[in-house]
Amino acid sequence: MLAYEERVLDALGDSTRRAVLNRLRGGGRSVGEIAEGMEVSRPAVSQHLKILMAARLVTVHAEGARRVYAVDTRGIELLRKWLNQFWDEALLAFKDAAELEAAKQVSGRLNERLERKTKGETRSPPK
């Protein structure tokens, strides 16, 4: 696994950071707004935000004297692309399994026809 993906997964592995990220889904907020109603202090929220920023899941910009944090959509997109690789692999494995099963069914029907011909049967058995 690459360092970026490890950093993202580590960042999302903490329930408080997931809660912080979830609060930012509605738009940019200051540390105080994020911390409001949470069971952790503002300094703790700031530390969690640093980790989320290092993982490129959160950005920060100044609005006057306030620092406003927001979801970094570019980081989320990178994470989504990485996770899609697993989905693509799963779909390919499912396709291979389905094709193998279909080939077995076709082979089975061909074997049945061949057996009937060798026994002199001309009609297909009722379905």
Domain harbouring 21, CATH code:
1.10.10.10
Q: Are the C-beta atoms of residues 57 and 46 closer than 8 Å to each other? A: no
pLDDT of res. 127: 59
pLDDT of the residue at 59: 96
> Which residues pair with residue 62 across a beta bridge?
67
106 within some domain: yes
18, part of any domain: yes
Residues 56 and 7 in one domain: yes
What's the whole-model pTM score?
0.66
In a 3-state reduction of DSSP, which class is residue 44? Answer: helix
Q: What is the dihedral of CA 83, 54, 28, 60, to 10 degrees?
A: -140
- Predicted local distance difference test score (pLDDT) of residue 97: 79
Cβ atoms of residues 76 and 57 within 8 Å: yes
CA–CA dist 56, 18 (Å, integer) = 14
Same domain, 55 and 91: no
Q: Are residues 9 and 67 in the same domain?
A: yes
Give the contacts of 13 (CB within 8 A, at least 6 positions apart). Answer: none
Same-domain pairing of 102 and 65: no
14 & 60 share domain: yes
Query: Would you state the pLDDT for residue 102?
Result: 75
Please write the tens of the pLDDT for every residue from 19-76.
999 999 999 999 999 999 999 999 999 999 999 999 999 999 999 999 999 999 998 8
Residue 24 domain flag: yes
Same domain? For 17 and 66 the reply is yes
Confirm whether 79 is domain-assigned: no
Q: pLDDT (tens digit, 9 = 90+) per residue, 70-119?
A: 999 998 898 888 888 877 776 777 777 777 777 777 777 777 777 777 88
In a domain, 103, yes or no: yes
- Give residue 116's domain range: 86-122
Number of domain units in the chain: 2
